[in-house]
Amino acid sequence: MWKTHITRVEPNRLTVRGRVLDEMIGEVSFGQMVYVVLMGKLPDEKVGRMIEAMLVASIDHGVTPPSTHAARQVAACRAQLTASLSAGLLAIGTVHGGAIEECMILLGHGAMERGQSGKSPQEIAQTIAARAKETGRRLPGFGHRIHTDDPRTKRLLSMAHELDLAGEHVAIAEALVDSLAKVTGKPLPLNVDGCLAAILSDVGVPPELGNAFFIIGRVPGLIAHIAEEQANERAMRTVNPDEAEYEP
């Protein structure tokens, strides 16, 4: 026998992480429920709202991400829905989407150093930025191919502050934007990966679960592209995202 701590299945009774499932239906938000199933406990409503906001922010980024491209290319071959979806998801890993986990580790180290040294977030950020410059390493969670001031990041950070959920990981991330600008001489904005990393860390999610939240939020977007591809485009076509035109 081996143990599972997620869901007890009995006839006419389902218990998820110690709570009766049907009593949560309609009472907790999907954001809270995601936290319940992954973290093992019910978060308060504010954390639930914050997670909903992060899932909403992750929903889609048009045809530019390689995951969307791969999903549409398989959908063009009229595969079963989950086959196209899987092709998209398989593109998400260390490079695409993976910055969340790495940035959480980075911010976690910063927070630990802060706890030990009593330094301010600004001082911690200074050290990290200086070290990055020295080693020539690009920090995960900063900079974006398209956005210089990602509207999702701005909105999520202001929510985190309003809801009083922004803790030291957010503080270090925000300080890093200033430090990186000073050290590198060019603006390196916090991207949405880095933003999720900071907020997820502040609501208690460990780094290895960070990507999960992005993935959960992105699945509906991938499915929308798969459905659109199958409905509107010719079977077996070559999908070229550079030739896509948005039409409302």
Options 20-28, 119-127, 174-182, 197-205: segment touching a second copy (CB under 8 A)? 20-28
Cβ atoms of 153 and 95 within 8 Å: the answer is: no
Nearer to a second copy, 3 or 185 (CB): 3
Nearer to a second copy, 86 or 127 (CB): 86
Q: Report the SS3 class of residue 209.
A: helix
Tell me if 161 contacts a second copy by CB under 8 A. Answer: no
How far apart CA 62 and CA 68 sit, in angstroms, is 8
Contact with a second copy (CB under 8 A) among 146, 164, 185, 186: 146
Tell me if 179 contacts a second copy by CB under 8 A. Answer: no
Nearer to a second copy, 122 or 165 (CB): 165
Q: Phi and psi for 101 in degrees, rounded to 5?
A: -60, -45
Nearer to a second copy, 14 or 130 (CB): 14
Nearer to a second copy, 128 or 214 (CB): 214
Cβ 200 to a second copy shortest distance, Å: 14
Cβ 41 to a second copy shortest distance, Å: 11
Output the six-digit token pair for 59.
Answer: 């929903």
Nearer to a second copy, 135 or 148 (CB): 148
How far apart CA 48 and CA 41 sit, in angstroms, is 12
Cβ 177 to a second copy shortest distance, Å: 15
Contact with a second copy (CB under 8 A) among 125, 159, 171, 197: 159
Tell me if 203 contacts a second copy by CB under 8 A. Answer: no
Tell me if 44 contacts a second copy by CB under 8 A. Answer: no
The residues in 75-94 that bind a second copy, with binding defined as CB under 8 A, are: 76-87, 89-94
Give kind and range of the element (H or E) at residue 10: strand 7-10
Output the six-digit token pair for 234.
Answer: 């010719």
Other CB atoms within a 10 A radius of the CB of residue 47 amount to 21
Cβ 119 to a second copy shortest distance, Å: 32
Q: Report the SS3 class of residue 107.
A: helix
Residue 122 buriedness (CB in 10 A; 0-12 / 13-18 / 19+): middle
Tell me if 130 contacts a second copy by CB under 8 A. Answer: no
Q: Phi and psi for 20 in degrees, rounded to 5?
A: -65, 125
Tell me if 100 contacts a second copy by CB under 8 A. Answer: no
Tell me if 243 contacts a second copy by CB under 8 A. Answer: yes
Other CB atoms within a 10 A radius of the CB of residue 2 amount to 3
Tell me if 22 contacts a second copy by CB under 8 A. Answer: yes
DSSP 52-65: HHHHHHTS-BTB-S
Q: How far is CA 66 from CA 70, 72, 100, in A?
A: 6, 10, 17
Size of interface with a second copy, in residues (CB under 8 A): 112
